[in-house]
Structure 1
Amino acid sequence: MFSLRPVFLACSLAAIVHSPAWAADTVADEGKADVAAEPASPHHISTNFGFYSDYIFRGISYARGRGAIQAFVDYSHDSGLFLGIGGTNVHRDALYGNTLEVDLYGGFSFPITDDLTITPGFLQFYYPDNEKIANQSPNVTEVNVAMNYKDFAIKYSYSLTDWFGVNTKSYGNTAIGHHTTGTGDSKGTNYIELNYNPALPFYGLSLLLHVGHQSVKNYAVADYTDIQVGVSKDFSIANSDGWNAGLSYIATDANDDWYVTSTGYKTGDSKFFAYIKRTF
């Protein structure tokens, strides 16, 4: 569960510089060796570190509006392969007493046309505290596939495991407000999202428009739709490049009786969200 941030990879191509024949002759005449330029490495590693006003995952707050610090390390290859690992704090009340989340993810991105890219991948949520609900683990494994066309992206995620420990033992046939939960496991829970992220023609800003729908297998009381509208900007501080900041408004129709902590904090309430991060 990491701040929803789809992974977009740019593949670098090495350029081979050819010297004209007369230049080669001149070098030879001077008795100097003609040294070929080394090709750029196909391997790329980047890191990013940021401060966030909350940990928002698919519209739901997991830091209770008290701020989050997140860091990620990403590896990519010119072939389209990518892998990453990251972490964020989680508020103890939001997820069964866990305080840390580690995300492992990867996939393969390949172009269909100049404007169309398909990216299958996986995402693993892991909680080192190992705090459980009714002895059911909150760890989740998802597979996903994304399609990017120009400034549009659509992504579908599918859970191979129970959704954060939701099953008959933990939540089955339980009264939630005016609703009764279902029974069975929650494998097959899915999330579909559509994002539009164009550059705006002023101040170097980018627009983000997002809509997503979470469907929890066998537990319809936990289904909801979320929307997000925001802007972001890349910038430099002194001679330091790689900075990015954003501000957005997030709203959901999540059931307040389900998406609520033990102390009464409604994690699906509408909220403003801001962040600043740097990529190295």
Structure 2
Amino acid sequence: MKKLMLTAAVLATFVAPAFAEEAASPHSFSGNLTVASDYRFRGISQTFKQPTVQGGFDYAHSSGFYLGNWNSTVSGLQFTNGGSIEMDFYGGYKFEPVKDLTADVGVLYYYYPGSSIGNTGEKYNNTEIYVGASYKWFSAKYSYNVTDFFGLNTASGGGNGDSKGSGYLDLGATFEVAEKTSLGFHVGRQWVKNYGSLNYTDYKVSLSRDFGFATLGLAVVGTNADRAAYPNVVNAAGKSKDVTDTGVVVSISKTF
């Protein structure tokens, strides 16, 4: 009997891990929720420098394919005639061609329900394809517009033509400076085809700390956008804000 029990124990030692490994699902799901003092997209406030609530869901397959949705409140002063919400839908494929180097290719669709540019009827909705790579602390990504750049074309942009083929280069670096504490640097360059005055560079320096219950973040964000090309946004009360200048963004987020 002792020999039989020993044999069973030995078999369990080897079979249980093998069974657990075999039963592991290739599918993974996650969600995220953020409350922030401002929503900056490529350096420019999308919320009239007001607080925002954001959240989304992601699906990933062990093969490298992924799909996701991310949503944020936006300002009705900047995205007119709609629901004051941005909904992003994306999918792509990540793979590791060499050790420590991760490549990423995909497509991203920005959707603004009901919103249109003034009385032109043109939609802000926007589609980009992207290719990126990350190596240890560093990352790079290029996004290319396959549609007009957030609805900018002859009808909405004063006759300069369409803006398909616009692009954005995103360079970043993130370093762990203490336990669960990260320091990040970002610089980006936006090019808008046929609308050169809209080209600009943006930057961000950020610090985040994971406290377990949530991650707290602090970032300094700004651009060198031409004030004439990106005029101040004015609300109904006559209050004017420069949504392109340097500002501080405080956030609290949770991934689950």
TM-score normalised by structure 1 residue count: 0.81
Say whether 1:149 aligns with 2:120. no
Counterpart mapping for 1:115-126 below 5 A: 115-126=100-111
Q: Distance in 2 between matches of 1:119 and 1:24?
A: 51
Say whether 1:131 aligns with 2:108. no
Q: Distance in 2 between matches of 1:197 and 1:150?
A: 9
Alpha carbons 2:48, 2:233 under 8 Å: kept: no
The residue aligned with 1:76 is 60
AA at the equivalent of 1:57: F
The CA deviation at 1:27 is 1.8
Counterpart mapping for 1:86-101 below 5 A: 86-98=70-82, 99-101=84-86
Q: 2:183 aligns with which of 202, 207, 215?
A: 207
The residue aligned with 1:184 is 161
Q: Closer, same or farther in 2 for the Cα pair 1:190/1:39, shift >3 Å?
A: same
Q: Distance in 2 between matches of 1:46 and 1:150?
A: 23
Counterpart mapping for 1:17-96 below 5 A: 26-27=7-8, 36-37=19-20, 38-96=22-80
CA offset digits 1:186-238 (Å, max 9, x no partner): 001100011001111x353101100000000000111100011111111223x
CA offset digits 1:114-139 (Å, max 9, x no partner): 21111001110001123334111110
Q: Closer, same or farther in 2 for the Cα pair 1:220/1:25, shift >3 Å?
A: same
Q: 1:257 aligns with which of 209, 228, 235?
A: 228
Alpha carbons 1:93, 1:261 under 8 Å: kept: no
CA offset digits 1:4-24 (Å, max 9, x no partner): xxxxxxxxxxxxxxxxxx888
Q: Distance in 1 between matches of 2:210 and 2:109?
A: 29
* Structure 2 runs not aligned, ≥5 long: 235-239
Q: Closer, same or farther in 2 for the Cα pair 1:164/1:199, shift >3 Å?
A: same
Say whether 1:236 aligns with 2:236. no
The residue aligned with 1:223 is 199
Q: Closer, same or farther in 2 for the Cα pair 1:28/1:228, shift >3 Å?
A: closer
Q: Closer, same or farther in 2 for the Cα pair 1:257/1:109, shift >3 Å?
A: same
AA at the equivalent of 1:95: F
Q: Distance in 1 between matches of 2:247 and 2:75?
A: 17
Say whether 1:193 aligns with 2:170. yes
Say what the alpha-carbon RMSD is for the aligned residues.
2.1
AA at the equivalent of 1:158: Y
Q: Distance in 2 between matches of 1:24 and 1:225?
A: 70
Q: Distance in 2 between matches of 1:45 and 1:260?
A: 41
Q: Distance in 2 between matches of 1:111 and 1:24?
A: 45
Partner-residue secondary structure (3-state), 1:74: strand
Q: How many residues align?
A: 241
Aligned sequence identity (%): 39
* Structure 1 runs not aligned, ≥5 long: 1-21, 174-182, 238-242
Q: Which structure has the highest strand share of the two?
A: 2
AA at the equivalent of 1:209: F
TM-score normalised by structure 2 residue count: 0.88
Q: Distance in 2 between matches of 1:118 and 1:188?
A: 22
Q: Which structure has the highest helix share of the two?
A: 2
AA at the equivalent of 2:108: L
Moved more, 46-55 or 90-99: 90-99
